[in-house]
Amino acid sequence: MSVWSPRRFWTTATVVPVEGGFTVHLDGRPVRTPLKAALILPTEALARDIAAEWQGVESKVDPAAMPLTRMANSAIDKVAPQFAEVAAMLADYGGSDLICYRAEEPVALAERQAAAWDPLLDWAETALAAPLVRVQGVMPKPQPAASLAALSAAVHRLTPFQLVAFHDLVALSGSLVIALALTQRHLTVTEAWRLGRIDEDWQIAEWGEDEEAAEIAARKQADFLRADRFFALCG
């Protein structure tokens, strides 16, 4: 019987050490990915949380309710086989990073961006050897090739499991630098989320918040927090 059967057939989900890491067994049967690969996880902590997702299934398997399992499956089935392509795609964010592009007006917004993002650019220059150019307005401007290479190298040092979480952190914040600062623990997850929303929070302060937009933002924040947790669980 496939592990991804829509109905629960097991009583207990347990963590089992295996060569290369840990896996999850359902009444002694190893969990496999949708492509039938072995679900080998890098840390016991991640395996325990994934086992808890399987233990929490009531009558039917709902992948939407098992985000850590989905992310682990993606790491094995999708990211690992095309790691270089995924890492390169994320590294490309460095060429148009959110924190480099500044408003020309209103002046108060530009000042808020500078206060929030300039320290991050200083950190990138010092910690990553990646000085980046500030750009006024929205017209793209090339970044130094050496800086882009340094940012790319930092991304390529991640594991496939880390890269799955990193993808969400970059996409949801709009910034490669914010994601790197978070995963290298220069920022807390709360700080990282706030720094990615400087423009949105400015608009809310000026014009008020739309209920639908607030719900979307809350879902994105939950996804951001989950991605940070998954990254941390990868060791």
pLDDT digits (tens, 9 = 90+) for 114-152: 999 999 999 999 999 999 999 998 788 999 999 999 999
Tokens encoding 91: 């590294």
Other C-beta atoms closer than 10 Å to the C-beta of 62 total 10
Query: How far apart (Å, rounded) are the C-alpha atoms in residues 71 and 99?
Result: 27
Domain ranges for the chain, please list them. Answer: 1-63, 82-233
Query: How far apart (Å, rounded) are the C-alpha atoms in residues 209 and 118?
Result: 27
Of 47, 40, 54, residue with least CA distance to 3: 54
If residue 64 lies in a helix (H) or strand (E), which one and from where to where?
Answer: none
Cβ contacts of residue 162 below 8 Å, gap of 6+? 183, 231, 234
pLDDT tens figures, 103-121: 998 999 999 999 999 999 9
Query: How far apart (Å, rounded) are the C-alpha atoms in residues 117 and 133?
Result: 12
pLDDT tens figures, 57-100: 988 888 889 999 999 999 999 999 999 999 999 999 999 999 99
pLDDT value for 3 = 45
The one-character DSSP state at 141 is -
Query: How far apart (Å, rounded) are the C-alpha atoms in residues 23 and 46?
Result: 9
122: which strand partners?
none
Cβ contacts of residue 182 below 8 Å, gap of 6+? 169, 188, 189, 192, 228
Query: How far apart (Å, rounded) are the C-alpha atoms in residues 77 and 35?
Result: 6
Average of per-residue pLDDT values in the chain: 94
Backbone phi, then psi, for 131, in 5-degree steps? -65, 135
What length is written for the chain? 235
Q: Residue 182 pLDDT > 50, yes or no? A: yes
Which residue did the predictor score with more confidence, 162 or 9? 162
pLDDT value for 213 = 87
Cα 34 to the center of its chain, rounded Å:
21
pLDDT value for 5 = 52
pLDDT value for 6 = 63
- CATH class in words for 1-63: alpha beta
Q: Domain spanning 82-233: which superfamily? A: ATP12 ATPase (1.10.3580.10)
